């Protein structure tokens, strides 16, 4: 019985051709390469940036401790060159922190509204508008910060200059909100409806469902959304360059101007002559930035794993 079934199969089904097997192997190879290429690119970027930065370690004017913890940044001084990036690091961190204080509650709130409360028509239009917001180029945001926002800040707070930490934080918040909204909305949408129904049948109110079922089950996605927002804020260059005032100092309040690591590199790399200490130290600043973002991602990863283990 089985023999006849086998023989009919052999007769009717064509044999796999050599070509189709080869194509399959080729496709697998290509996919494998694309996967591995991510690792290669990261390593290559790190390698080339580090190669440009390396000579600074052999310079007489450079001291790693001062580079990290000194606030004096005078890279072009004739008499006393100082390469302290602490004010820049602090600038990056404070602008990002301020932006996240504003953007995370707004972003999450808006995502919860879109996914749980609003009607289908409103939902569609809101999503389109938020995607439009994400598509605005960063230089346009910088322009808004420099002109519109700075005037508003001056007239509301009476600060001497409108381009400052607050301005940069607001602009960055506006830039990261769309990312946070769209990713957290995806995360909330991924929570199965059966969870909502089960909680509903237990007599839970809308809010109880949100904070006791939806937020806990979507927490990984929500955390990812916040971290991508942070990533966007730390890495953003043009908008903060135009909106923060570009003064190297530790800010005493939100109305002081600051300069960020990214803005510093963008503004000075064009002027530093290739091969000079200044040039090399800017690349080292790039590595510092790289390490900060890496640390953020790693923390996030560990936090998510920690949550999962519970």
Partner 1 sequence: MTPPEKTIEIENLRLAYGVKEVIHSVTFDIYRNEIFGIIGPSQSGKTSLLRCLNRTIDFVSNATVSGTIRVDGADISRIKDIYALRRKIGMVAPLPVGLPLSIYDNVAFAPRSVGLTKKDDLDEIVERCLKQAALWDEVKDRLGTLGTALSGGQQQRLTIARALSHQPQILCLDEFSIAIDPVTTMRIEDVLKELRNDITIILVTNLTQQARRLADRTMFLCNGDCIELDSTENIFSDNPQYAKTYEYVNGIFG
Interacting residues with partner 1 (CB under 8 A) = 120, 192, 194-205, 208, 212-213, 216-217
Minimal distance, residue 308 CB to partner 1, in Å: 10
Task: Report the nearest approach of partner 1 to the CB of residue 209 (Å).
Answer: 9
According to DSSP, the residues that pair with 83 across neighbouring strands are 73
Nearer Cβ to partner 1, position 41 or 211? 211
Q: Minimum Å distance from CB 168 to partner 1?
A: 38
Alpha helices in 113-192 (DSSP H): 120-134, 138-144, 150-157, 165-189
- Residues with Cβ within 8 Å of 95's Cβ and at least 6 positions away in sequence, in order, are 165, 168, 169, 172, 233, 240, 244, 258, 260
Compute CA distances 204 → 118, 185, 227, whole Å: 19, 22, 30
Q: CB nearer to partner 1: give 134 or 204.
A: 204
Partners of 82 in the β-ladder:
74
CB of 305 to partner 1, least distance (A): 15
d(CA 88, CA 213): 41
Give the residue among 228, 226, 236, 280 at the shortest CA–CA distance from 91.
236
Minimum distance between the CB of residue 131 and partner 1, rounded to whole angstroms?
24
Q: Which is nearer to partner 1, 14 or 203 (CB)?
A: 203
Choice between 125 and 293, CB closer to partner 1: 125
Q: In angstroms, rounded to a whole number, what is the distance separating the alpha carbons of residues 262 and 282?
A: 10
Nearer to partner 1, 34 or 205 (CB): 205
**3-class secondary-structure state, position 245:** strand
Of the pair 61, 219, the CB lying nearest partner 1 is at 219
**Three-class SS state of 79:** coil
Minimum distance of partner 1 from residue 301's CB (angstroms) = 20
């Amino acid at each position: 019985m089985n023999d006849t079934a086998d023989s009919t199969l052999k007769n009717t089904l064509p044999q796999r051709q050599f070509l189709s097997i080869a194509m399959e192997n080729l496709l697998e190879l290509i996919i494998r390469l694309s996967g591995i290429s991510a690792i290669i690119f990261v390593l290559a970027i790190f390698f080339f940036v580090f190669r440009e930065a390396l000579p600074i370690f052999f310079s007489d004017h450079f001291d790693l401790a001062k580079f990290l913890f000194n606030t004096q940044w005078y890279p072009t001084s004739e008499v006393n060159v100082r390469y302290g990036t602490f004010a820049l690091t602090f600038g990056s961190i404070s602008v990002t922190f301020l932006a996240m204080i504003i953007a995370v509650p707004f972003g999450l709130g808006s995502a919860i509204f879109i996914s749980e409360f609003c009607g289908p028509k409103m939902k569609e239009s809101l999503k389109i508008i938020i995607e439009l917001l994400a598509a605005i180029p960063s230089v346009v945001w910088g322009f808004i910060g420099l002109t519109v926002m700075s005037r508003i800040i001056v007239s509301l707070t009476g600060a001497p200059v409108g381009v400052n930490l607050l301005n940069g934080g607001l602009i960055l918040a506006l830039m990261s909100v769309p990312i946070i909204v769209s990713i957290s909305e995806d995360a909330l949408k991924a929570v199965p409806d059966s969870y909502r129904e089960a909680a509903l049948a237990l007599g839970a109110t809308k809010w109880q469902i949100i904070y006791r079922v939806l937020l806990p089950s979507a927490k990984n996605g929500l955390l990812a959304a916040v971290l991508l927002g942070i990533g966007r804020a730390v890495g953003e260059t043009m908008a903060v360059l135009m909106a923060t005032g570009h003064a190297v100092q530790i800010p005493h309040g939100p109305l002081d101007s600051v300069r960020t690591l990214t803005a510093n590199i963008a503004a000075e790399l064009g002027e530093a002559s290739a091969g000079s200490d200044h040039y090399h130290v800017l690349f080292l600043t790039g590595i510092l930035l790289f390490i900060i973002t890496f640390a953020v991602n790693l923390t996030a990863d560990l936090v998510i794993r920690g949550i999962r283990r519970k």
